[in-house]
Structure 1
Amino acid sequence: MATPEAEHFAALLKELKDRSGRSYGVLAGRLHVSTSTLHRYCNGDAVPNEYAPVERFARLCGAVGDELVEVHRRWIVADAARRRPAGAAVAGAAVPVPAAPAPAPVSAPETAPAPLPAPEPEPPVVVSAPGGGRSPWARLPRRTRVLIAAAGVAALLVPTTVVATALVGSRAEGGAGAPDRADRAAGDASVPPAPAASGASGAPASPSPSTSPSASSDGPPDGPSAEPGAPGGSVTERSRGGTATGLGAPPAVTISSYNWEEPCGQFYLLDRGPEGVAPPPAPQDRRGWARSYAGVEGGNMRLQLTVQGTSREAVVLKGLYVRVLSRKAPLPWSAYLMGNGCGSGIAPQTFASDLDAGHPVITPVPGTQGDRVVPAVPFPYKVSSEDVEVFNLDMKTTGYDVTWYLELKWSSGGREGMLRVDDGGKPFRTSGMRGRPMYTYGNDEVKWEPYQAG
């Protein structure tokens, strides 16, 4: 059964399809999916697991500018609803709770418990029992109901693609802001990462091995990469005090795409000649293809971040910063171009950074909507569970092999902190390719041919 969010998403897809004048068969062929699958997407019976085919569908139907942003927003909401357990409640909404088995009787204590410092608020739950009687849920102690409701809301709202562990606590507790730490990061060959913040008890928190990159990277990244086309990377933060969701909680951040100019424009550096390199695959598989050769993004890395609050409470995004871990001589490898080198107009909410700079900064870039120039919009931004921001980042290097990650500074409910955004627990890696042999896959000879920049 389709969720309301899926129906809302499908209605927009159907509107775009009808407006395009193209048949389901034509569009399905261009998207490399079956006609029945595309029917299910446009009827709300299914939600695509990945955003890449949704974006291609929208562009084929002529969507531009704000329409593309709205398609992305509705897909995020519909995908989250699809992943939600059956019968689960949305945070902040009053939903009926089914009657639970009556709890086992507990003997009353000899003495009354000590009074609590302050009464807990009732959880936002509407209790209804069959037959109008008082449900077993209502007979539970109020404190127990509060804890159960809070645990359920937290389980629903924490995204499965985000790992929450801390780099920096709130400023009120002595956490340093990104500018302070960035000033201490020298632009030399190696910059140590920021230490993890203490846990809630005040003892040093031990970072997970999967979210603690080394200070430098001596070779190509190893291990499996994030699933192509799906939200990837990782976001880490440990906050001292506060709750996981709601007022005073950090936003959820996912990597929507590793190349928002797909299917064009990305070079990968590989340590081998063209004779031993397979043809480039479909756009959603290209990063996995490069990782199978221990490849590294060449010249530019175009990341697309999706940022969303975990409740209706606003979270202010105060700034986005670059943390460079190491700079080395660029890799002496060959560069292979995905697509045909085509490009498109820069969309709003796009930022660029020169990783060769001693202290790289994120700079807003003017966008275009049709023939109209959209002014660059710097931070701050504001998000909530109903307001999503999508940021396109163009990270460039020409003279170095750079390992780096991002830090997103946020504040909500009097608290602020820093989220680390990296490549699935490892730093991102981008290498310059100036003077390197470059190849593109030819359409006539069906082989890798020397690329001539035009």
Structure 2
Amino acid sequence: MPEHTAAADFAALLRELKDRSGLSYGVLAKRLHMSTSTLHRYCNGDAVPADYAPVERLARLCKAHPEELVELHRRWVLADAVRGRKGAAAAETPPEEAGSGTGPGQAASEAAPPAEAPSAGAPPAAPADADTGAGPAPTRRRTRTAVLAGIAVAAVTAGVALAVGLPGGGSDGDGDGDGGRHRPVGAAGVTAEGTAPTSSSPPSSAASPSSPAKGTGPARTPVDSAPAGAPSGEGQKSGVPVTVRAEPYAWESPCSQRYLADKPASEMKPPPLEEGAAAWVAAHGAVSSGQQYLRLTVQGTGPETVVVDGLTVRVAGKRAPLAWNDYAMAYPGVGCGGGVQTRAFAVSLDSARPSLTPEPGNEDFPFKVSESDPEVYYVTASVSAYDVDWYLELKWSSGDRSGTLTVDDEGRPFRTSGNKGRPAYEFPIGGDGWVPEGTTKLE
């Protein structure tokens, strides 16, 4: 879909909601904690928000219907995807080499071709015309630059090939190269319920219960992983036809969202807005408390239809619940909206074999997606008796291809802990710190 069309469709629905609400840009901007000019740009199609959270808050302030919320998210996904592709293309455009002497519009073929890389330990051969004086001086300089650039590129390529070919590929000795933190997303290879081979399962944080959550934002699954059971390299040839964007710190409503942190109330910052939740969690080493609300955006990478056959819950580790303080994100006395979304599912992590079940009134898998028709799934994971590391496996099929994508928090499992009996705190409006929950006097 062309960029201007995707952004314009998204902006058109925003303007429709805004106009129908009867609220001015100034009033809406103040309630959304953003500038009026920024809101103008979103509604005029001049800019697309990087995060969906302010868009959803705007829609709820304008009393959007559930169907409009789903359609608004769909249009934002398309506009955001087109913008992302444009940004990636711009980043990949190589800048003109400074001092190369090649003028604007000059064909690359006019420059001398780069020489082959010399063998290891051999000094680079001098260009044929470098010191002979043959030809004008500018030509000799361009030729020398082209040859040296070719040698440098070849040397870097050889070094990368050597590093990739080394066994283990990393310093931790586990053959993963990076401890599994950034492994490709693809077939998880689960061999038993709730367990997976070390080489492909998300690393468990069980070894360090107090380690902070990653919390750096929604994860985008790569699209070049091999389908389940595919021979090595097949995924790079065919490509996985579906991507998943996971937002592990989305909020169904502020009233339902709480976090556990191993810090006293005096060291905690005030509750964030939803779009700042990931950074707040990372800064405090916090963990979702009692329940975790995930927003998963599933989108095809091309025009072909991809069937999402199901989501499977995998448990990577279970421990006793964290003995930390419990912090509520809602300010006392502030009303909370929300409601059950379409494509909503629930799972109890206390179960021996956790599995997703559709919320009342919602359909179950399978669903269909494509590049122009994404789906959004909402998962509410609840727990009371354990501190759980877990992730999801998304099964997909398209024509004669099929596979499994691992969905986690950017290479690490999601983490949710029970909060029963933990000291609970809230942050009063106009207050300067956290106080024990229930002690705030409402006027």
Fold shared by both chains (TM-score > 0.5): yes
Range that drifts further, 1-10 or 233-242: 233-242
Q: 2:380 aligned with 1:394, yes or no?
A: yes
Range that drifts further, 399-408 or 40-49: 40-49
Q: Label 1:432 to 1:223 Cα distance change in 2 as closer, same or farther (>3 A).
A: closer
More helix by share: 2
Q: 2:281 aligned with 1:274, yes or no?
A: no
Larger Rg, first or second structure (1 or 2): 2
Q: Label 1:37 to 1:69 Cα distance change in 2 as closer, same or farther (>3 A).
A: same
Shift of 1:250: 3.8
Shift of 1:272: 2.3
Q: 2:341 aligned with 1:353, yes or no?
A: no
CA distance in 2, matches of 1:439, 1:87: 43
Q: Label 1:397 to 1:54 Cα distance change in 2 as closer, same or farther (>3 A).
A: same
How many residues get paired?
346
- What SS does the corresponding residue of 1:10 show, helix, strand or coil? helix
Shift of 1:235: 6.3
Q: 2:215 aligned with 1:238, yes or no?
A: no
The CA deviation string for residues 309-352 of structure 1, in whole angstroms up to 9 with x for no partner, is 11111111111011101111101111000014835321121100
Shift of 1:29: 1.1
Range that drifts further, 38-47 or 260-269: 260-269
- What SS does the corresponding residue of 2:379 show, helix, strand or coil? strand
Structure 1 gap segments, 5+ residues each: 89-98, 105-161, 169-175, 186-190, 197-206, 367-374
- What SS does the corresponding residue of 2:255 show, helix, strand or coil? coil
- Residue number in structure 2 paired with 1:369: none
Choose the corresponding residue for 1:407, options 378, 393, 399.
393
Q: 2:318 aligned with 1:327, yes or no?
A: yes
- Residue number in structure 2 paired with 1:220: 210
Structure 2 gap segments, 5+ residues each: 90-104, 111-181
Q: 2:418 aligned with 1:432, yes or no?
A: yes
CA distance in 2, matches of 1:216, 1:309: 34
Shift of 1:416: 1.3
Shift of 1:252: 0.5
- What SS does the corresponding residue of 1:269 show, helix, strand or coil? strand
Shift of 1:101: 5.2
Runs of 4+ in 1 over 4 A off after TM superposition: 99-104, 233-237, 241-246
CA distance in 2, matches of 1:32, 1:245: 46
8 Å CA contact retained: 2:251, 2:274: no
- Residue number in structure 2 paired with 1:362: 356
CA distance in 1, matches of 2:267, 2:299: 42
CA distance in 2, matches of 1:386, 1:401: 38
The CA deviation string for residues 140-170 of structure 1, in whole angstroms up to 9 with x for no partner, is xxxxxxxxxxxxxxxxxxxxxx9854325xx
- Residue number in structure 2 paired with 1:193: 196
Task: Give aligned-pair identity as a percent.
Answer: 45
Shift of 1:24: 1.0
CA distance in 1, matches of 2:64, 2:248: 18
CA distance in 1, matches of 2:268, 2:87: 45
Q: TM-score under structure 1 normalisation? A: 0.69
Choose the corresponding residue for 1:290, options 256, 262, 281.
281
Q: Label 1:232 to 1:339 Cα distance change in 2 as closer, same or farther (>3 A).
A: farther
CA distance in 2, matches of 1:222, 1:423: 13
- Residue number in structure 1 paired with 2:369: 383
8 Å CA contact retained: 1:411, 1:417: yes
Q: TM-score under structure 2 normalisation? A: 0.71
Q: Label 1:265 to 1:56 Cα distance change in 2 as closer, same or farther (>3 A).
A: same
Coordinate RMSD, CA, aligned = 3.1
CA distance in 1, matches of 2:358, 2:106: 53
8 Å CA contact retained: 1:232, 1:254: yes
